[in-house]
Chains A and B, each alone.
Chain A
Amino acid sequence: MRTVLHADLGRIAYGPALALQRRLHALRREGWIPDVVLSLEHTPVITIGRQGDEGHILAPPEELARHEVEVYPVERGGDVTYHGPGQLVLYPILHLREAGLDLHRYVWNLEEVMIRAARRFGVEADRRPGFPGAWHGSGKLGSVGVHVRGWVTLHGLALNVDLHPDLFPLIVPCGIAGARAVSLSTLVGRPVSVAAARDAALAAFADVFGANLLPVDGEVVARWTG
């Protein structure tokens, strides 16, 4: 079983989390550190992937400013997406070759982590061919967006646990007109905490990736990267 370090970063703004991911990615590529998975919740942010269309941000800049929503163009795949409180994010920094994974299988695994995590709360999510993510009917429960360089991954998955209903409508999810975000809490019928969802997702991650997760302090991880 492979050991994967796990660090929880709590609630963190997008910029510092991205900088940390990029530094960990460089260290992982050079072989200085083993695989790492970061868990966190972002402060409100809209990110625009490589296939992104800024026209899919529906809210005018004043409204984004009023909600203190940052906007970042990023190197991951996909269109625009929203991250914010009430959403669990996992950023695995994994060496796919060393883990015996190809790109397609990796994305499938990330979807599987979200599907199994939802199942632990009695919710049956599934895949939608051609639209990566975890779906419940026409509702998008979770997203994937990945960047791979030197066979090492950045970015990852975002599972809607208990999103503020006012914020997700700021965008067209993944550029799919008519798609709407749905939270695990709504499907379960009671509030689910991000911490509970994180525990479920990490257990699913360990199963799906055949990994032994070893907890490390987020501040320790930040120190490795200077």
Chain B
Amino acid sequence: MGRKEDVVDIVVPELGEVEEVKLVRWLKAVGEEVEAGEAVAEVEADKAVFVIEAPSTGILAEAHVSEGGSTRPGEIIGRVKPG
């Protein structure tokens, strides 16, 4: 544990013909515990809000995109340190 490879990426999934999405809000703060499947962030495109869930249980270690910022499918928006 502790090595960079041990963290799990939080990735915006493929959403179809959507090039850019807006990160509406983080539902967890960096340093907060998350459970696998728990909602961590919301992105919006085309009047649709899509909830991104934690890929594993642990601590939200990194958030790469700020609220209101833009991101895209396939992009890593944060990382979970399992634990």
Give the A-binding residues of B (Cβ under 8 A). Answer: 14-18, 22, 24-25, 39, 42, 44-51, 53
Contacts and interface: CB of A to CB of B under 8 A. Distances in A.
Contacts of B50: 103, 148-149
Question: Which of B14, B15, B18 gathers most chain A CB within 10 Å?
Answer: B15
Contact of B18 (A76, A103, A133): A103
A104 B16 contact: yes
Contacts of A133: 47
A90 interface: no
Given A50-B24, A149-B39, A103 B48 contact: yes
A132 B14 contact: no
Given A77-B44, A149-B39, A104 B49 contact: no
A103 B47 contact: no
Contacts, number: 72
A51 B49 CA distance: 10
Interface in A75-105: 75-78, 102-105
Question: Which of B15, B18, B49, B51 gathers most chain A CB within 10 Å?
Answer: B49
Interface residues of A, number: 23
Interface of A: 49-51, 75-78, 102-107, 132-133, 143-150
B49 A107 contact: no
Contacts of B25: 50
Contact of B49 (A50, A102, A150): A50
Contacts of A75: 42, 49
Contacts of B17: 102, 104-105
Which 4 A-B residue pairs are closest in the complex by CB-CB distance? A102-B16, A104-B16, A146-B48, A149-B51
Given A51-B24, A77-B45, A104-B46, 17 more contacts: A50-B25, A50-B42, A51-B44, A75-B49, A102-B14, A103-B50, A104-B16, A104-B45, A144-B46, A144-B47, A144-B48, A146-B46, A146-B48, A147-B49, A148-B49, A148-B51, A149-B53
Contacts of B14: 102
A107 B50 CA distance: 12
Given A102-B16, A103-B15, A103-B16, A132 B49 contact: no
22 contacts: A49-B49, A50-B44, A76-B47, A77-B44, A103-B15, A103-B45, A103-B46, A104-B17, A104-B46, A105-B17, A106-B48, A107-B47, A133-B47, A144-B47, A145-B47, A145-B48, A146-B46, A146-B49, A147-B51, A148-B49, A149-B50, A149-B53
A75 B49 CA distance: 7
A8 B33 CA distance: 41
Nearest to A148: B50
A77 B16 contact: no
A36 B39 CA distance: 23
Given A51-B24, A51-B44, A149-B39, A105 B16 contact: yes
